[in-house]
Amino acid sequence: MAGLNLLPASPGLRRFAYANLINTIGIGLYLAGSALFFTRAVGLTPGQVALGLGVATAAGLALMMPLGRLADRYGVKNVYVVLLVVQAAAMAAFTVVDSYALFICVAIVSGVAEGGVSGTAGAFIHAISEPEERVVGRAQLRTSTNIGLGVGSLLAAGALVAGTAAGYTVLIAGNSLLFAAAAVLVARIPAAAPTPKTAARPEPSGASVFSPLRDPGYMAVTFTNALLSLHVTVLAFATPLWVANHTQAPEWSLSAVLLVNTALVVLFQIRLSRRADTVSSAARSSRRAGLALAASCGVMALTPHLPAWGALAVLIVWAGVLTLGELLQSSGEFYFSFNLAPDHAQGVYQSAFALGPGVVRALAPGALTLLVLEHGAAGWLWLALLFAAGGAGTAAAATWAHRRLPAPGPVPVPVPAADGYQRDVAAS
């Protein structure tokens, strides 16, 4: 692990990596057992669960930016810790849900907290790290996320094998406890106080701390990058259905695909992120990401015409090509989200940036069903064009957004305070 530099060198980022690992182990437990818990232990129908979680996701997306504004105003660490505590409470509440109405209420609270955590994570990294650490630090945290999800899924295996309501309930309760443990760890991380607007780099013309939606450069990058992030749903949703219904590959090949994806992310995400250290290099990563993802679509289009073992071999190649695109896309995304946003508005800007992939993930299952699953190989080729356009568009939008940035103002100088936090004072 040390040789791969999986953990950040910065004490604050390292603590956050541990907290993130604990948190994502719990999420792995939840993802592995939640569907069975809600249907077999709580007694809901699959349709009721899908509707409730869909409403919860929509609520989380709708309130993501308002929570980012709160993080900018009251301190991102304070808001982040509260959101983790709310998630812990919501998971605990799920274990005693006894009606559909109560399930909906708890799901909405959980969805809002989940959206807030997703939206403010980048702002929290910004608050506990130096500029040169942020992109690589975000990559290291993404690696710990993959590891945590894998560990959580493995730990859930016992409960899934037992197949009892009590076992499923233990998975949800375990997630609650791990959320609480992560909140305790995060609460002990020193973080910078909110950056005063007068001491920060001014935002581009037309932008506002209250609405990144009025910053056309940043939102252009957000939109085009969101198109590239479609690869997440391609892997999690479209691929299992495609393999099962359109190829002769054995069903266990899905596990092989996920194993290849996870291993490559762990091995190479940090290395590739180190190369995205300027706007031009990050734009190049995005452009190449679009091409790699497009190429993966072309590879997948070949699978229906192959025998079982041939399809399996092509799927392994596909997993490698798709993951390369994923790694390049993430590297560019990390750089743009930090460096194209004003320092004093990281909370709301990072939330706006996270909103793009969030909306895409909400809409993607339906879109991929219509585009790919119902049109076969031709659908994959149309998706390839979309990815290529997304990569080129992200590169062009990022270059434009960077040109719109005004010259930096006075550089904030961190001054230690008695309470352990840093106060930023503009250097003269």
Would you kindly state where each structural domain of the chain is located, as residue ranges?
11-194, 212-404
**11-194 belongs to which CATH class?**
mainly alpha
CA distance 59 to 90: 15
- Which pLDDT does position 194 carry in this prediction? 61
- Which pLDDT does position 144 carry in this prediction? 86
Burial of 275 (0-12, 13-18, 19+ CB in 10 A): middle
Q: Residue 95 CB: number of other CB atoms within 10 A?
A: 18
Q: Are 39 and 49 in contact (CB under 8 A)?
A: yes
Candidates 420, 371, 368, 370; CA nearest to 187 is 420
- Which pLDDT does position 192 carry in this prediction? 63
CA distance 224 to 286: 10
Question: What is the reported pTM?
Answer: 0.80
- Which pLDDT does position 197 carry in this prediction? 55
Query: What is the Cα gyration radius of the chain?
Result: 21
Selecting from 1.20.200.10, 1.10.1060.10, 1.20.1250.20, 3.20.20.70, what CATH number does the domain 212-404 have? Answer: 1.20.1250.20
Which tokens sit at 64?
């993501």
- Give the dihedral sign, CA 82/84/86/92: negative
- Which pLDDT does position 7 carry in this prediction? 78
Q: What's the distance, Cα to Cα, between the start and end of the chain in Å?
A: 43
* Residue 43, phi-psi category: left (phi > 0), alpha (psi -120 to 50), beta (remainder): left
CA distance 300 to 322: 10
CA distance 383 to 77: 39
Q: Are 88 and 69 in contact (CB under 8 A)?
A: no
Digitized pLDDT (tens) for each residue of the chain, 428 residues in all: 444 577 787 888 999 999 999 999 999 899 888 888 998 899 999 889 888 888 998 999 999 999 999 999 999 999 999 999 999 999 999 999 999 999 999 999 999 999 999 999 999 999 998 888 888 888 888 888 888 888 888 888 888 888 899 999 999 999 999 999 999 999 999 876 565 554 445 555 444 444 788 899 999 999 999 999 999 989 888 888 898 888 998 877 887 888 888 889 988 998 899 898 899 999 999 999 999 999 999 999 999 989 999 999 999 999 999 999 999 999 999 999 989 988 888 999 999 999 999 898 888 888 888 888 888 889 999 999 999 999 999 999 999 999 888 755 554 455 554 444 444 444 33
- Taking every pair of Cα atoms in the chain, the longest distance, rounded to a whole number of angstroms, is 70
- Which pLDDT does position 97 carry in this prediction? 94
Q: Are 192 and 424 in contact (CB under 8 A)?
A: yes
Same fold, 11-194 and 212-404: yes
CA distance 227 to 361: 10
Estimate the crossing angle of helix 279-300 against helix 308-339, to 10 degrees. 160
- Which pLDDT does position 2 carry in this prediction? 41
Q: Dihedral angle at the C-alpha atoms of 209, 210, 214, 219, nearest 10 degrees?
A: 70
